[in-house]
Amino acid sequence: MPSTQIDITRIPFSRYGAFLSVTQEDGAQELIIHTARRRFKESAVLALTFGGAFTCTAQPEALSVTGAAGHARIYLRDDDTLVIESFGLDISLRQFARGYGTETGDRTFRIYHDAFSLISTVTLPCGRALLDGPVIGRNRRTDLSVACEEGRILMALRLCHAEPREISLPLTPEADIAAIRAEWESFLGLMPDIPAADAEMEEFVRLTWYNLWSCFVRAGGCYPADTMLMSKKFMTSTWSWDHCFNALAMAHLTDRELAKKYALSQFSAPFHLQGELGALPDMWNPDLETRWGTTKPPIHGWCFGKLMDTFDFTREELQRVYGWLSKWTLWWTEHSDTDHDGIPDYPQGCDSGWDNSSLFDAGFFMETPDLPALLILQMRTLARIAAEIGDAEGEMHWQTEAAAMQERLFAHSFDGQRFLAKQSRTHIYDENPTSLLSLMPLVLGEHLPQEVTEQLTARLTRDFLTENGLATEMPDGGKYEPDGYWRGPIWAPTTYLLIDGLRRGGRAELARTVAGRYCRMSARIARGNYENFDALTGLGRRAPGYTWAASVYMLLHLEYGL
């Protein structure tokens, strides 16, 4: 099986199930150890250096470091334990925030990462270690220096989030690394065999598959099943729409039983936390928090409809999803329509997923046209589920609701040429919207009148399609920002939603064009899966190793052979 080389400046080094990862910034002479049990800036816990300049390479099973005095290898023994074996290179571990440590026995240490409420236990079968670094307060040594003993270091660090746990011995690097390699190769064997255009694209497909594999964390806390995070650097949590794209990617595993299991578990992830009235949380982390107050757009019916195209679900499975989606739909129609005009609203941009889209410049509680469109698709999926389980009344109810919502959408938001976003109650709006969000009703696909599809696709290609894909803000519209989050950059989820809508709406050639540009940008320009991408240069922006970008790449590669 071909070797997979990982650039850890673009994809964090980790493994399936692990909460730890290792990254490096471009040109930096340190490695950064992260924990997915914390998020954003708190995920970076320790900096690892090797006494001088070094180079770093990585494969799925181990990370290799080479310096003037020797070499080292690093691997993840289990979900919370990192092992370092060094031949000639001394090691230093520096905390990123306040903490303190102590020696707990012969060659064992305990380090408290006080700012992050985490504890590290360290054991050294081989090597000499010393707590050092700046003295803070009452002799609070914060760092750990490790020197070679007879030319070698063998150490393990276990990062604990609840209570300190000791590390079992012996450490067996050769056997451990071989087991990790076998685990990765087993998952790689589940990847659909779709020929790539050339060797560069083929390697990027494997890297993207590694990206997905390595971002799983083990079930626990508010994660009832093994769950794919957004990234194991910075965005170390799950949000209530990104999981849908990961579910769709997992649906393509070559083992169909496993594919259904993984797809359904990733799709179900937020519904285990669903509120009494039907709301889904904005995001959740297994050991930190579940965030409410905002949520994410209702793409879930659209997603499950695609899963129904792929799998045969049991009656019990369908009934469970029917209950979830019914409550989720009613959350929007009954509890998120603040002026009671039949068109629900997003309290703020974050609820739409398009956090700072220019459509929200008009204010809060915006009735943007994507929301009814997504609900129409969700209602149609509910009707389809009802038909599958033999609920004729439910089927008729949701078909009627979908038709009524579509009628209200056009009466309220379509001016004959474009869809408008209106503020709830005041109904003020921008007559010339410059955000791609105003074109998201294209997701309706075959349910959209052809003349409307023609009007919207004309604007899409004229105002938003760049050489790299679909910009989220018109580059010539006056509000475009190259690194403006949802005010310019290309994003994977909206790209895939629109491609799917274009294909279903009879615009297959345009769908393929957008898909091709996105895949080329990811593999040949950004050379990684990022939270978003510069629409004009194609370079990756924000968090690297982002799974919804990886999932969308895999989906487009599989569906279009790109």
25-48 pLDDT, tens per residue?
Answer: 998 999 999 999 988 888 999 999
Q: Is the pLDDT of residue 1 over 70?
A: no
Q: What is the dihedral of CA 340, 346, 348, 349, to 10 degrees?
A: -150
Q: Count H helices and E strands in the chain, helices first.
A: 13, 25
| Beta carbons of 211 and 235 less than 8 angstroms apart | no
Query: Exposed, middle or buried, 146 (CB in 10 Å: 0-12/13-18/19+)?
Result: buried
Mean pLDDT, the chain, integer? 95
CB atoms within 10 A of CB 64: 14
Q: State the Cα–Cα distance between residues 54 and 31, nearest whole angstrom.
A: 10
| Confidence label for 209 from pLDDT (cuts 50, 70 and 90) | very high
Q: Mean of the pLDDT values across residues 377-394?
A: 98
Task: Reduce the secondary structure of 230-275 to three states and give it as a string.
Answer: CCCCCCCCEECCHHHHHHHHHCCCCCHHHHHHHHHHHHHHHHHHCC
Fold that domain 20-164+172-183 belongs to in CATH? Beta-galactosidase; Chain A, domain 5 (2.70.98)
Q: Which tokens in the block code for residue 382?
A: 């509910």
Per DSSP, helices labelled H in 133-255 are 173-188, 199-214, 242-250
pLDDT at residue number 287: 81
Residue pLDDT, tens place only, 319-352: 999 999 999 999 999 999 999 999 999 999 999 9
Q: State the Cα–Cα distance between residues 425 and 340, nearest whole angstrom.
A: 9
Q: Indicate the pTM of the whole model.
A: 0.96
| Confidence label for 134 from pLDDT (cuts 50, 70 and 90) | low
pLDDT at residue number 153: 98
Helices 315-335 & 256-268 angle (0-180, nearest 10): 30
427: left (phi over 0), alpha (psi -120 to 50) or beta: left
Backbone angles phi, psi at 480, to 5 degrees: -70, 135
Residue pLDDT, tens place only, 242-266: 999 999 999 999 999 999 999 999 9
Backbone angles phi, psi at 23, to 5 degrees: -130, 170
Q: Which tokens in the block code for residue 194?
A: 């779709």
Q: State the Cα–Cα distance between residues 438 and 152, nearest whole angstrom.
A: 61
pLDDT at residue number 141: 58
pLDDT at residue number 52: 93
Residue pLDDT, tens place only, 496-505: 999 999 999 9
CB atoms within 10 A of CB 92: 18
Q: Which tokens in the block code for residue 59?
A: 């494969």
Backbone angles phi, psi at 471, to 5 degrees: -70, 145
Q: Which tokens in the block code for residue 555?
A: 């989906």
Residue pLDDT, tens place only, 275-296: 999 999 999 998 878 999 999 9
Domain ranges of the chain: 20-164+172-183, 189-560
Domain covering 189-560 assigned CATH 1.50.10.10 in the classification = yes
Lowest mean pLDDT among 86-100, 371-385, 416-430: 86-100
| Confidence label for 139 from pLDDT (cuts 50, 70 and 90) | very low
Q: Which tokens in the block code for residue 386?
A: 């009802």
pLDDT at residue number 197: 77
Q: Is the pLDDT of residue 194 over 90?
A: no
Task: Reduce the secondary structure of 387-409 to three states and give it as a string.
Answer: HHCCCHHHHHHHHHHHHHHHHHH
Q: Is the pLDDT of residue 468 over 60?
A: yes
| Beta carbons of 144 and 128 less than 8 angstroms apart | no
Residue pLDDT, tens place only, 543-562: 899 999 999 999 999 999 87
| Confidence label for 199 from pLDDT (cuts 50, 70 and 90) | confident
Q: State the Cα–Cα distance between residues 427 and 369, nearest whole angstrom.
A: 13
| Upper half-sphere CA count for residue 263 (Cβ side, 13 Å) | 26
Lowest mean pLDDT among 33-42, 296-305, 420-429, 461-470: 33-42
